[in-house]
Amino acid sequence: MTQPATSAAMRRLRSRCGDESGFTLVEMLVVIAIIGMIMGLIGPRVLSSLNESRVKTARIQIQSFSSALDLFYLDTGRYPTTSEGLTALVRPASTIVGWAGPYLKGGSVPSDPWSHAYVYRSPGQHVPYEILSYGSDGQEGGTDLAADISSSVTVGVR
């Protein structure tokens, strides 16, 4: 008679364990390992694309500043001085005669893609002005993503 009692107890035990569903620790570790390998392969490519797009954004913004500076020149007969800076494109100084801006939309000069201020020099070396972004490190010089991005324009009007 002990066998039917044991058999009934085993059935109850199986029914309790069979109702519980979930993942084992090994299954969870395998899934985490697969996700880690995928991120290891794809992650650097995504980050590289993001950094390249920041460099392109900085170049486009510098071109936009150059166009605005050319309009400023046409209205005032000169480029803003270094001390007036790029803010002269959005707010007139009392010393600027003929200002017809703002020359940039938004009412302020945007920062570069790394949240650093653009550097404006007028006159530049061998050009009427220079606009620079110091890249990801925010310091002059550097290589790769930390390299400076410059307007390096030669403007024929002076």
pLDDT digits (tens, 9 = 90+) for 119-130: 999 887 788 899
- The answer to whether residue 149 scores a pLDDT higher than 60 is yes
- pLDDT class for 153, splitting at 50, 70, 90? very low
Q: What is the pLDDT of residues 14-69, one digit of tens each?
A: 555 555 677 888 888 999 999 888 888 887 777 767 778 888 888 999 999 999 99
**Residue 6: inside a domain:** no
Measured CA to CA in angstroms, residue 153 lies from 125, 129, 131 at distances of: 11, 8, 9
Section 143-156 average pLDDT: 67
Number of domains in the chain: 1
Whether residue 35 lies inside any domain: the answer is yes
Parent domain of 52: 25-150
**42 found inside a domain:** yes
